[in-house]
Amino acid sequence: MRVARDILGDTSGNALTIIGFSLLPLLALVGSSIDMGRAYLVQSRLQQACDAGVLGARKELGAIDNFDPDSDGVQVSGKGNRFFNVNFADGIYSSIDRNFQMSIDDDMSISGVASVIVPTDIMQFFGKEEIPIEVSCRAELNIPNTDIMMALDVTGSMAETNAGDSSPKIAVLKSVVKQFYATMETNRQPESRIRYGFVPYSTNVNVGGLLKDEWVVPSWDYPSRTLVGSGGSGSLYGYYSASSPVSGTYYTTTSTSAATRNWSGTYSCTPPANTLTTSTALLSTTTQAVTNPAGTRTTYTYNRTRNGNVYSMALSGTTCTLTTTTYASYIDTYRYITEPSLGTGSNWLYKDVTKSTTNWRAESNGCIEERSTYEIDDYDNVDLDRALDLDLDLVPSASDTDTQWRPMYPSIIYERAKEWSGAGSFQKAAVGTNLEFVSPYIAGFAACPAASKKLQEWAQADYDAYIDGLVAAGSTYHDIGMIWAARLLSPTGIFSSENADVSTRQRTSRHLIFLTDGQTSSLDLSYSSYGVEPIAQRRWNSASPLTLTQTIEKRFSFACEEAKKKNITVWFVAFGTDLNPVMTTCAGNGHYFSAANADELQDAFRTIAKSIGDLRLAI
C-alpha cells in the first residue's frame, strides 16, 4: 500500500507528459504561421505581377492604331504575359500551377486574373497539403481633368514646305493639331474634362480680347510723328515692303576650295555663274486716300517665283568659301507702295506721341505691348518686382500702369531715324524732317497673329475652324509665346478662378505644348511686344552685352522655368529645324521631339497624346 501511495504521489514526470500532449498543437501553430507567411508573400508578389501584366498590356494596346482584337490581340497579350513572367517566375517560392489570364473589356481596359498553388511544408501533416491563391487586377488608360495650352509658331517661315512634304508647314501643323484633338477625345473618360487653349505667336501675340478693361493703360507713348507746316503734297515716293513666303523652299550650303594664285602672287576666287531665274506676277492693285499730305496711296502686290542657284565667294588667306543659295520653286509675296510726299515748307516731327487708349478695343488690332520690365543682367537673380512681364501670375492693378498692358497701334508707328532706303540709324531723340521713315506696319514688320484662346472645352467643329484660321507671318520671338502660354495655363494667375483644380480629389493635369519651325529670329525693325526695341529700350538696346536674339532666348528660358514651377509639363516640338539646348533644357528629357516632315510631326503628337493619358491601375 505504501508503495502504491508513493507512486501515485510522485509528480516528477508530469512536465514531460504535458509537453508531449502540447507538442502537436504547438507544431500545428508554428507550421501554419510558416506556411501562411509564405502564402501571404506569394500573394503579394502575385498581385504585383498581375498589375504589371495588365499595365504592360494596356500600354501596348494604346500604341496600336485602329486596334483589331483578332489581329492585334496576340501582340497585346504577349506583352502582358512577358511583364507577368518577369515579375513572377514559374516555380518561385516552390509554387506550382501558375496561371495568368487577361481580357479586354468594352471600355478598352485590361482585366486580369492570376492564380497559383503553394504546397505546404508543415500543414501537410495536418491534412492541408496546398494553399490556392488567386488575385485580380485591371488597368485602364484614364485621362483625368486635363488642361492643354498650345503655343504655336505661325511665323512667315511656316508658309514654306519641308523637304519630302507636299504641303506647307502651316498646313501640316493644322492637320496634325486637329488629329491630336481627335486622339485625346477618343481616349477621354466620360467623367473627365479636357480643355484646350491656344497662343499663336510670331513677333507678337494677340491677347487683347482676353483682357479686362482695367488691365490696360488709359494712355501710352508711341513712336509716331506729327505734321509741321501746311502739309501740301509734292511728288510721289515709293518703297518696297518685306516679302512673305508662300510655298517652295530655299536653303544655303557652303563649301571650300583652294584659291587661285595670280601672276602677281595674290590669290583670288571666282564663283560659278548664277543660274537663278525669276518671274514676277502682279496679283492686285489697291488704292487708299491718305492725309498729311493729302493724296492717294497705291499698293501693288506681286508674287515672285525663283528657281536655281545664287553663288557668292569669300577669300580667306588661300582658301575660297563658296556659299550657294538654292531656290526650288520658291514663291514669295511682296508689295510696292507709292504715296504722296511732303511739299515745300512742310516737315514731319518724329517723336513719341501720347495717345489715349480708352477706345482700344475698337481701334487697336488685339496685340499688346508688354508691361514694365528692365534690361536683365543676371538671369539667375531676376527681380520680378521690376520684370513684371516675366511675373506670370501678377494681376494688374487699376492704379499702377506699370502692371498694365499697352494696346498696339501699328499704323501710327514710325522708326526714327530709319529711311526706306536703309539709310539712317535709330535714335530716341525727336527728329524734324521731310524724309519718310520706315513704318513697320506698311513694311510688314508688325505681324499680329490670330487671337489667342483661353482654356475651354471645344466641339470638334469649332476647334477645327479655329485652327484653320491660323496664318503664317512675322518673325520668331519665342519668349512672348512662352510667357503668354504659361500665363493662360497657370492655376494661380490672372485666370486662377477658371484654372484652379476642380477639387482636391480631382486634380488637373497641365501641359504646355510648344511648337516651332525655327530658331529665334529677331529684327530690330520690328514693332514687337516691347515696342520698336532700339527706340523703346525696355529690355535691350544696341549697346547691350547680349544681342536681341540672345535676350529673347534668355527670357524664354526663364519663363519656361517659371512655368514648370507651377507643375506644368512642357513639351517642345521642333518642326523642320534643329533642336538646340535652349529648347531641350526647357522641356527636359523625354519631352522634346525633332520632326523633319509631316509623318514625324504626327508621330510626335501621338506620343504626347499617349503620354498625357494617365495609364493607371483601376481601383
Using the predicted structure, report yes or no on whether residue 550 has a pLDDT greater than 50. yes
- Residue 222 pLDDT: 98
Cell readout for 499 is 484654372
The CATH homologous superfamily of the domain defined by 146-220+350-618: von Willebrand factor, type A domain (3.40.50.410)
Look at 146-150, 194-198, 346-350, 512-516 and tell me which has the smallest mean pLDDT. 346-350
Q: What is the pLDDT of residues 402-426, one digit of tens each?
A: 999 999 999 999 999 999 989 999 9
- Residue 126 pLDDT: 67
How many CA atoms does the CB half-sphere of 424 hold within 13 Å?
19
For cell 491563391, the residue is 133
Alpha carbon distance 349, 355 (integer Å): 16
Please give the C-alpha separations between residue 426 and each of 418, 441, 540, in angstroms, as whole numbers: 6, 17, 13
Q: What is the pLDDT of residues 207-216, one digit of tens each?
A: 999 999 999 9
Strands 568-575 and 592-595: parallel
Q: Please report, for the chain, the start and end positions of each structural domain, with discontinuous segments joined by +.
A: 13-141, 146-220+350-618, 232-344
- Provide the percentage of residues in the chain whose pLDDT is more than 90: 67
Mean pLDDT of the chain: 89
Contacts of 146 (CB under 8 A, 6+ apart): 184, 192, 193, 194, 195, 508, 509, 510, 511, 612
First-last CA distance in the chain: 78
Please give the C-alpha separations between residue 248 and each of 216, 279, 306, 311, 472, in angstroms, as whole numbers: 41, 14, 9, 19, 14
Cα angle for residues 167, 171, 172 (degrees, 5° grid) = 80
Q: What is the pLDDT of residues 30-87, one digit of tens each?
A: 556 677 888 888 999 999 999 999 988 988 887 676 677 888 888 899 999 999 999 9
Overall pTM > 0.95:
no
Q: What is the pLDDT of residues 594-618, one digit of tens each?
A: 999 999 999 999 999 988 865 555 5
Cis amide leading into 417 (omega within 30): yes
Distance of CA 113 to the CA centre of its chain: 41
- Residue 10 pLDDT: 55
Look at 9-13, 202-206, 421-425 and tell me which has the smallest mean pLDDT. 9-13
Q: What is the pLDDT of residues 283-332, one digit of tens each?
A: 999 999 988 888 899 999 999 999 999 999 999 889 999 999 899 898 98
* Cβ pair 485, 199 in contact under 8 A: yes
